[in-house]
Structure 1
């Protein structure tokens, strides 16, 4: 399959922004920059690293969304607070997003965490959390009805429900460490290509099967349906 010039330019920009994000994190670690330390403005960083402001803006957007950096009026880009496990983990995993292979490995790690925690989630989930899962699935169905009319808007809304669905399952295991770890991983995919796909009825049915199995307290079925769903997520978008 031939790749158009526009597509190559987009991919090149994504690669440059990922590399810049990695280099900024490396600077934070190497220079031991404290929370609040100034990194510079978009123009400053563009000059320092010899890239366009578009590349800088994309890199900053990724790091800001992951809680690594923050913007302060009059100062520009600054190092965000790093006083908890999630903040430290975000910085440690940033280099992985600089390559498709790294993202794939993070997605595999996410699958391991979810599948490994599903039995505990089925055992510990409360009635309120079951209702929450079922409500999320119902909202996903409602959102999907607008797919043909508004593909972009529907995809964005569905993506938010998708993340919330999986976060709810992990929260049901009532393990704080696992929940934080998983939440950080989902943040990466929420902003990346794994969650950039157009939602499908097949994916919706998979979520419904998982929710029903959990509601029935059926660990075997819940594990089976979740595993099949995550295996689908691991496939390339073209597959």
Structure 2
């Protein structure tokens, strides 16, 4: 006779008893990955928003004209670059709080630097280019996150492309050529579109490797704190977005 009071453990269809722990671990990892990537996107979007607000108010105050010429021009151009190098090469030395402050300072300085685009392009074309960039960035980042294709091999090629792009920009500053300017803008959009997808997958894989390492070696948690990973990841995606926007603006922007 059946004992209806007997306690039974019900297994899900297709799930063996020994697999329960694996399923739970996988579910916890997926939730952790989503939370990690969402934090990166939140930081990145907040940084872009802060840059936009600072740029708009600086342009409306008339300070943008001062940043477009004279010694202040070099200050607002080189200061963000200095912060990027400091964050990239000093991430292990700085605390998470220090990296946060440096990220927000970088976003503000970028806003001061980018305020000069309002002197060159109409506000409507800047807005339309921004939304076009946002749509392209979202699609590329989503593809980089979901694709099963390994695009890690793109990294060295894209970095070489960035270096070549910088060399071409310097040459164009010394010997301006209209055709070269158009080529630089086109190639710049392609390079940073590729970097958007590449960096998204890289950040996802970075979380996977660190999470797995922490299971076998708890000391990894101290060497790779998630807070620092979030900030540095946000910085990478921020740079991809801003550069893609800047190069795309040269195509879509209507000059004043």
TM-score, normalization by structure 1: 0.29
Larger radius of gyration: 2
Structure with bigger RCO (C-alpha 8 Å, 6+ apart): 2
